[in-house]
Amino acid sequence: MSEPPAELLRIVDACVNRAAEGLRTAEDFVRFALDCRFLSEEIKTLRHRLVRTVEESVWNKRAWMRDAVRDVGRQVSVPSESVRNSEVAFVRANLARAQQALRTLEETAKLSGIDHGEWESLRYAVYAVESAVLNSISGHQNLSQHRLYVLTEDADPSDFEGKIKAILAASQELQFPLVIQLREKKSSDRALLSRCRQLREWTANTNVRFIVNDRPDLAKLSHADGVHLGQDDLDISSARRILGPEKLIGVSAHSLEQAKQAVLDGANYLGSGPTFPSKTKQFDAFAGIQLAQQIAAEVNLPTFAIGGIDLQNMAQVIDTQVHGIAVCHAVWHAADVGNAIQCLARQFTDSDSIV
């Protein structure tokens, strides 16, 4: 193939630099602000893939045609370029910079008569990473203070109301934010929706996040804060279409690979487990405390270890640096539900003071 004309190499050079700069800025944010090794590596891989693709093509002499001093674009700017008023705006601006540059490279490849498929593939990969980063930011913003996650079980109306109100009272007294997940397996859809709406009413104007288990449709109808999905439930993309961009979507992860995939799919938080043998659910195998350690080291999406956690063993879980714990039996079946919440909350505050 003949040498590309100088004007095309100048376009390529500017766009490769622009895309690499946008990716590197996003990578640094994910590395240092989110402390997420996994997403940092994902973006770094894309950045190196970008440069390698250029160097292996007829565009590999792009820098020879560079004329930065007389580039007319140096003097062109708009006011919005100097404004970054949030973390979301920071990430979106830099990844949009990479996406737009990759689109220009894709079109320039067509004009040059070379395969444009790799540039299209890279552009879509950056779209996916942007979604993962933005949903990770949302998870941190919504759950940074919520380290105790309580799951309910089927109960008669008076017992259910008494337990929930005791949980909420303890949370408010300690000013310790909670997540409450409504998890019921025996109720009809109509009864479950009624209970969802009750729980939404009770948790409104509190520091509690209200999550519905399995059912994004009921979460939407009851105006819950989000939904939690198992590995066999509806996929994240479909749940997001039902709930929209503002709601939280959590995913159960039983391996590091499942956790990483959930991050790429756009989860806001994770459930890691089973950690220990549970009194409310039977499992054939246990991911154990090691999974919580792995996720805390690699992913750093807000993650709640779950499965058999109680006052006696929760210190081991906190030591993994996982974000929080999820409990059912330790609270829902306690003789004094409010006291159980207070004791668990104090374990967190005590461990924080030691650190």
Residue 132 and residue 186 in one domain: no
Residue 190 and residue 313 in one domain: yes
The span from the CA of 10 to the CA of 69, in Å, is 13
- The residue among 122, 139, 156 that closes a domain is 139
1 found inside a domain:
no
Q: Residue 78: its pLDDT value, please?
A: 63
Q: b/e map of 184-212 (b: 16 or more CB within 10 Å)?
A: beeeeeeebbebbebbbebbeeeebbbbb
Q: Both tokens of residue 218?
A: 């009921």
Residue 321 and residue 193 in one domain: yes
- CA distances 324 to 13, 82, 126, 270, Å, are 46, 38, 30, 10
CB 167 within 8 A of CB 152: no
- The residue among 139, 156, 191 that closes a domain is 139
Neighbours of 328 (CB within 10 A): 22
- Which residues, 6+ apart, have CB-to-CB distance to 271 below 8 Å? 149, 228, 250, 251, 252, 253, 303, 304, 305, 306, 326
Q: Residue 166 phi/psi, 5° resolution?
A: -70, -40
Residue 177 and residue 130 in one domain: no
333 found inside a domain:
yes
Per-residue pLDDT of the chain (355 residues; tens, 9 = 90+): 567 888 888 999 999 999 999 999 999 999 999 999 999 999 999 999 999 999 988 888 887 777 666 666 666 566 666 667 899 999 999 999 999 999 999 999 998 888 899 999 999 999 999 999 999 999 999 999 999 999 999 989 999 999 999 999 999 999 999 999 999 988 899 999 999 999 999 999 999 999 999 999 999 999 999 999 999 999 999 999 999 999 999 999 999 999 999 999 999 999 999 999 876 666 666 788 999 999 999 998 999 999 999 999 999 999 999 999 999 999 999 999 999 999 999 999 876 654 4
Residue 80 and residue 32 in one domain: yes
350 found inside a domain:
yes
Q: Residue 355: its pLDDT value, please?
A: 44
Residue 67 and residue 128 in one domain: yes
- Which residues, 6+ apart, have CB-to-CB distance to 125 below 8 Å? 46
288 found inside a domain:
yes
CB 40 within 8 A of CB 112: no
Q: Both tokens of residue 292?
A: 């919580």
Start-to-end Cα distance in the chain? 63
- The residue among 139, 168, 186 that closes a domain is 139
Residue 162 and residue 277 in one domain: yes
Residue 154 and residue 21 in one domain: no
Q: Residue 154 phi/psi, 5° resolution?
A: -55, 135
Neighbours of 161 (CB within 10 A): 15
What CATH number should be reported for the domain holding residue 209?
A: 3.20.20.70
214 found inside a domain:
yes
pTM: 0.92
Residue 298 and residue 191 in one domain: yes
Q: Residue 42 phi/psi, 5° resolution?
A: -60, -45
Residue 106 and residue 165 in one domain: no
Residue 35 and residue 61 in one domain: yes
The partner residues of 250 in beta bridges, in order of sequence, read 228, 269
Using DSSP, state whether 226 is helix, strand or coil: strand
Residue 231 and residue 94 in one domain: no
Q: How many domains does the chain have?
A: 2
Domain hosting 34: range is 6-139
